[in-house]
Amino acid sequence: MGEKIVIFDTTLRDGEQSPGASMNVEEKLRVAKQLEKLNVDVIEAGFPMASDGDFEAVEAISKAIEGCEIAALARADITDIDRAWGAVRYAKRPRIHTFIATSDIHLRHKLKKTREQVLEDVVRAVSHAKGYTENVEFSTEDATRSDLEYLCRVIEVAIEAGATTINIPDTVGYTIPSEFSRIIRTIKERVPNIDKATISVHCHNDLGLAVANSLAAIESGARQAECTINGIGERAGNASLEEIVMTIRVRKDLLDFYTDIHTEQIFPVSRLVSTITGMVVQPNKAVVGTNAFAHEAGIHQDGILKEKTTYEIMTPESVGIPKSSLVLGKHSGRHAFREKLGELGYELSSAELDVAFKRFKKVADQKKVVYDEDIMTIVEDEIFRVPDKYKLININVQSGTVTIPTATVQMEVDGKLVQDAGFGDGPVDAALKTIQHITNSKSRLVRFAVAAITGGTDAQGEVTVGIEEDGQTTIGQGASTDIIIASAKAYINALNKLEYRKKRLQGL
Ligand code: KIV
Ligand code: ZN
């Protein structure tokens, strides 16, 4: 079985730093609950100094989650650490994660500090955090571009001051596996008190090597891996949790380690993160992409039918992909629907179930078969929406080769019926412009993406819309068998989220 690798999930902190991936407090709580089911060891819930929203999310997650350690990030700065503790102190097992850069590039250009000054900051910060909790992690930002001798000195000093986990980030995704192995081995050899701390790694994916580098570090002595669901994160993202975990599991013949991850929860959490952030998982993404278990070539299909292991190194069920993708139809009843929801990781109250079931019946009337993906979209659409200021009542759009695309839209704004009509460059443009006119929104569209959730011309289309106003970005989603309706719903969802966020910022 070998040694345990601690899985530190930073989807809610580094993952949320992906451009456009911001989540509100409720959404973060939903992801945290799913991460608890996945059984990650540590959830990094946010960076409380970064914003009031981050503070609130860390506090809420600390209060709600009991099965995982909760970490809060702070710069190596007293005010930051106080703020982090203020949010994470409610956790059953809190962790303060403090960091400072150690590379000369960062010291010279960003921090404008000498190496000696940084050493002093490390001691001050770690000792201060230690005053709050035994569980202190210290990160040497940009470690892989730091002078190795200095890096070892910083680590030694941090452990002396009380750090129990030392994280070695490849902040800019610069290292390669052989070099990273050497760095970890050198730290183990040269830092005299290294046995008093767990070595952690945190790899970014700028050269597509984040998972390979993390695994190389584990083979060289790291015992904690920092990672995110679907590999989301700053720039090209972080090491993907599902890839690290499944490699350790599938190649246990070579990697004498284990994790406590409940791997059958991987797919539900991947889908949830993708839905909430609007970051679509690429079809050929390892482990969780829609093509990850699809066999196209005749020779492969023949092999799979004869013996699965010919072309499958892990089963779809082992990562939580439901056995068959074709399940419910218009004759399916409430009982089967509830069972399916359970399989997909949803626990709904009976009132919520009523709402979702009604919509399911509508979809089932329009489509011959209702796939798992359709059901997940129905639940997201009907149940987990933010309180609506704007509601779509009716929409009609005319377009064609000779008609100027025209939309007539009826909406409820704060419960009052409002209607308008407008033109556009195409049917979607006409619909969105008319909605913008009705809501008087000053926001601008920063993202528009359409995906067919399932195959066939009767597929449900899922539209993702990103809008921005005064530096606030929100992502909205909408689904329908009609792409214009899906677009209108997605846009209205983004507008509702924006209104909701504005209210929260005003403390309402
Ligand atoms: O990439 C990085 O260096 C980080 C640290 C804050 C751990 O995210
Ligand atoms: Zn990072």
Same domain, 57 and 147: yes
Q: What is the pLDDT of residues 119-143, one digit of tens each?
A: 999 999 999 999 999 999 999 999 9
- Alpha carbons 392 and 410: distance in angstroms, whole number: 7
**Protein residue closest via CA to atom 8 of ligand 1:** 14
Residue 439 Cα to ligand 2 middle (Å): 38
Tokens of 272: 């949830």
pLDDT surpassing 90 at residue 314? yes
Q: What is the pLDDT at residue 323? A: 63
Question: pLDDT band at 242, cuts 50/70/90?
Answer: very high
Q: Are residues 133 and 241 in the same domain?
A: yes
Q: Which atom of ligand 1 is closest in space to residue 17's alpha carbon?
A: 8
Average pLDDT of the residues in 183-209: 98
Domains in the chain, number: 3
Q: Which domain holds residue 440?
A: 390-505
Distance between CA atoms of 186 and 103, rounded to whole angstroms? Answer: 17
Instruction: Give the pLDDT band (50/70/90) at residue 317.
Output: very high
Q: Is residue 146 part of a domain?
A: yes
Tell me the one-letter amino acid at 319: V
- Same structural domain, 62 and 205: yes
> How far from the centroid of its chain's Cα atoms is residue 132's Cα?
29
Residue appearing with tokens 């509601």 = 391
Residue 326 is predicted with a pLDDT of 47
Residue 38 within a domain: yes
pLDDT top residue among 273 and 336: 273
pLDDT band, very low/low/confident/very high, at 165 (cuts 50, 70, 90): very high
Mutate to test the pocket of ligand 1, among 80, 204, 228 (most ligand atoms within 8 A of CB): 204
**What pLDDT score was predicted for residue 273?**
94
Same domain for 406 and 343: no
The answer, as to whether pTM is greater than 0.85, is no
pLDDT-based confidence at 371, cuts 50/70/90? confident
- What is the whole-number distance in angstroms between the Cα of residue 409 and the centre of ligand 1? 46
Which residue has its alpha carbon closest to ligand 1 atom 2?
Answer: 171
Question: Of 382, 405, 433, which residue sits at a domain end?
Answer: 382
Which residues pair with residue 201 across a beta bridge?
168, 225
**pLDDT, tens digit, 9 for 90 and up, residues 265-277:** 999 999 999 988 8
476 Cβ contact partners less than 8 Å away, ≥ 6 residues apart: 278, 464, 465, 466, 467, 489, 490, 491, 492, 493, 494, 495, 496, 497
Please tell me which residue, 14 or 402, carries the higher pLDDT value.
14
The conformational region for residue 233 under phi > 0 = left, psi -120 to 50 = alpha, else beta, is: left
Residue having the nearest C-alpha atom to atom 1 of ligand 1: 171
Cβ 92 vs Cβ 113: under 8 Å: no
Tell which wins on pLDDT, 376 or 7. Answer: 7
Q: Is the pLDDT of residue 221 over 70?
A: yes
Q: How many CB atoms within 10 Å of residue 482?
A: 14
**The ligand 1 atom nearest the CA atom of 99:** 6
Q: Does 60 fall in a domain? A: yes
How many angstroms separate the CA atoms of 145 and 446, rounded? Answer: 34
507 or 282: which leads in pLDDT: 282
For residue 141, give the ligand 1 atom closest to its CA. Answer: 3
> What angle in degrees, to the nearest 10, is found between the helix axes of 25-38 and 52-64?
40
Give the number of whichever ligand sits closest to the CA of residue 238.
Answer: 2
Residue 166 covered by a domain: yes
**DSSP label at 471?**
T
Residues contacting 296, CB < 8 A, separation 6+: none
Instruction: Kindly give the distance from the C-alpha atom of residue 234 to the centroid of ligand 2, in angstroms, as a whole number.
Output: 7
Mean pLDDT over the full length of the chain: 92
CA 236 to ligand 1 centroid distance, Å: 14
Ligand 1 surroundings by CB, under 6 angstroms: 14, 99, 139, 141, 167, 169, 171, 202, 204
CA of 252 from ligand 2 middle (Å) equals: 27
Atom of ligand 1 nearest to the CA of 169: 3
Instruction: Residue 204: name the closest of 241, 245, 248, 169 by CA.
Output: 169
The residue with tokens 């992801």 is 31
Q: How far is the CA of 19 from the centre of ligand 1 (A)?
A: 16
The fraction of the chain above a pLDDT of 70, given in percent, is 97
Q: Is residue 311 part of a domain?
A: yes
Confidence of residue 453 (pLDDT cuts 50, 70, 90): low
| Distance between Cα 261 and ligand 1 center (Å) | 23
**pLDDT for residue 352 is more than 80:** yes
Q: Hey, whose CA ends up nearest to atom 5 of ligand 1?
A: 141
Of 344, 359, 382, which one is at a domain's C-terminal end?
A: 382
Residue 139 lies in a domain: yes
